[in-house]
């Protein structure tokens, strides 16, 4: 099973027990059959026609579709009906949100995980940076003292600021990056961060779907927004390792250059070629395997997301305290 990323424009439809991607190239109509059992989820970057027959078929097979707009900006996800449900766990997930103490405990872990990842990334470029690592380590110490979600969010904001300040020192290419700006991003770096973040968010969402966790009930982020907030919570942990590390490599190795961004739009958007490069690198990263000491078996980086969710489930069941991922390599 794998993710299918469709960049071309055309039409996807159900045919028998498969789906067919139809598109026209140089005036010639082409059809690509994709076996349904091979699809994990579908990412649509092109202008694609779909119908309800296809949606029903994908839903029956528990397959998500992630939509991106013309600029490669994440639009949303078709989330098929739940197939793994546990009433007991849902109640406990809600109770952990409802109790301020319990909620804060989890929110702290997500921020901790994010800072661990940031520190780990900075350590790889020790000679290029100043005292960012020490500053982040001080923030870690201060997390314990925070006693409200907004205060924890504040620590997270400070951590991000320190961390992002180090980016221009790390990157070989001359880039303009002073501040993280979203909706829309305002330069190359912000465009890349937004793009990889959306890939991480959708990957986490897909893993959540394959557990009994409810994606709307979150702890660091407010569940009241339109998004699947739990996916945002968990994404925080994986952004530095899956996203930022990728960005450093792609830019420092010159694989991604200014020419991959849309000049007319202030380099704020990746062009198709650039998106393909980033998506390919992201997939390669997530499919890379390593020996997981705790499990005593070889797992993919993608699997780390699921394992994190399992740890969260055990926490919610009051079985084992959740401790966010702290990389040992």
Partner 1 sequence: MERKSIFITATQINYFFVCKRKLWLFSHNITMEHNSELVELGSLLHKDSYKKRRKEIEFDGIKIDFFEKNKALIHEVKKSTAIEKSHIWQIKYYLYRLKELGINVEGKIDYPLQKKTESISLSDTDEMVISNIISKLKQILKEPLPPQKIAQKICKKCSYYEFCYA
Tokens of 271: 């062009």
Cβ atoms of residues 31 and 10 within 8 Å: no
Min dist. Cβ of residue 296 to partner 1 (A): 8
Quick one: 295 exposed, middle or buried, by C-beta within 10 A (0-12, 13-18, 19+)?
A: exposed
Question: Which CB, 6 or 313, lies closer to partner 1?
Answer: 313
Question: Which CB, 84 or 249, lies closer to partner 1?
Answer: 84
Question: Which CB, 130 or 320, lies closer to partner 1?
Answer: 320
Over the Cα atoms of the chain, what is R_g?
20
The strand pairing partners of 4, in sequence order, are 42
Min dist. Cβ of residue 59 to partner 1 (A): 16
Question: Which CB, 116 or 267, lies closer to partner 1?
Answer: 116
Residues contributing to the site for partner 1 (CB under 8 A): 1, 84-89, 210-212, 294-297, 299, 303, 306-308, 310-311, 313-314, 317-319
Picking from 276, 296, 314, the residue whose alpha carbon sits closest to that of residue 46 is: 276
Picking from 108, 153, 114, 107, the residue whose alpha carbon sits closest to that of residue 136 is: 114
Min dist. Cβ of residue 47 to partner 1 (A): 32
- Residues at the annotated binding site? 156, 221, 236
- C-alpha 192/C-alpha 188 separation (Å) is 6
Min dist. Cβ of residue 322 to partner 1 (A): 11
Min dist. Cβ of residue 84 to partner 1 (A): 6
Those residues whose C-beta lies under 8 Å from the C-beta of residue 60, and which sit 6 or more positions away, are none
The strand pairing partners of 5, in sequence order, are 43
- Residues at the annotated binding site for Mn(2+)? 156, 221, 236
Tokens of 88: 């007991």
Question: Which CB, 28 or 37, lies closer to partner 1?
Answer: 37
Question: Which CB, 193 or 205, lies closer to partner 1?
Answer: 205
Min dist. Cβ of residue 13 to partner 1 (A): 26
Those residues whose C-beta lies under 8 Å from the C-beta of residue 266, and which sit 6 or more positions away, are 186, 187
Picking from 202, 284, 301, 293, the residue whose alpha carbon sits closest to that of residue 250 is: 284
Min dist. Cβ of residue 312 to partner 1 (A): 10
Those residues whose C-beta lies under 8 Å from the C-beta of residue 288, and which sit 6 or more positions away, are 300, 301
Question: Which CB, 265 or 307, lies closer to partner 1?
Answer: 307
What order of strands is seen across the sheet that includes strand 48-49?
28-35, 18-25, 10-15, 48-49
- C-alpha 288/C-alpha 286 separation (Å) is 6
């Amino acid at each position: 099973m794998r993710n299918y990323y469709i960049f071309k424009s055309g039409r996807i439809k159900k045919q028998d027990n498969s789906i067919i991607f139809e598109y026209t190239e140089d005036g010639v109509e082409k059809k690509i059959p994709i076996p349904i059992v091979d699809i994990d989820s579908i990412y649509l970057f092109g202008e694609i026609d779909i119908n309800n027959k296809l949606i029903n078929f994908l839903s029956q097979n528990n397959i998500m579709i992630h939509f991106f707009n013309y600029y490669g900006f994440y639009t949303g996800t078709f989330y098929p009906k739940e197939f793994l449900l546990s009433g007991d766990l849902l109640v406990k997930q809600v109770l952990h949100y409802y109790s301020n103490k319990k909620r804060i405990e989890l929110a702290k872990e997500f921020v901790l995980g994010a800072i661990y990842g940031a520190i780990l990334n900075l350590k790889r470029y020790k000679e290029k940076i100043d005292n960012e690592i020490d500053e982040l380590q001080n923030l870690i110490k201060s997390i314990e003292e925070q006693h409200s979600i907004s205060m924890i969010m504040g620590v997270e904001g400070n951590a991000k600021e320190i961390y992002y300040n180090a980016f221009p020192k790390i990157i070989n290419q001359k880039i303009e990056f002073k501040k993280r700006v979203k909706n829309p991003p305002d330069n190359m770096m912000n465009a890349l961060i937004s793009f990889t973040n959306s890939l991480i968010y959708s990957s986490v969402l897909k893993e959540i779907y394959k557990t009994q966790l409810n994606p709307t009930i979150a702890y660091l982020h407010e569940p009241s927004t339109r998004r699947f907030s739990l996916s945002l919570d968990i994404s925080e942990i994986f952004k530095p390792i899956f996203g930022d590390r990728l960005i450093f490599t792609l830019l420092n190795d010159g694989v991604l250059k200014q020419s991959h961004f849309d000049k007319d739009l202030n380099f704020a958007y990746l062009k198709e070629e650039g998106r393909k490069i980033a998506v390919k690198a992201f997939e390669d990263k997530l499919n890379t395997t390593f020996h997981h000491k705790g499990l005593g078996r070889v797992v993919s980086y993608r699997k780390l997301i699921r394992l994190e969710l399992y740890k969260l489930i055990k926490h919610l069941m009051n079985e084992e305290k959740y401790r966010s991922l702290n990389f040992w390599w």
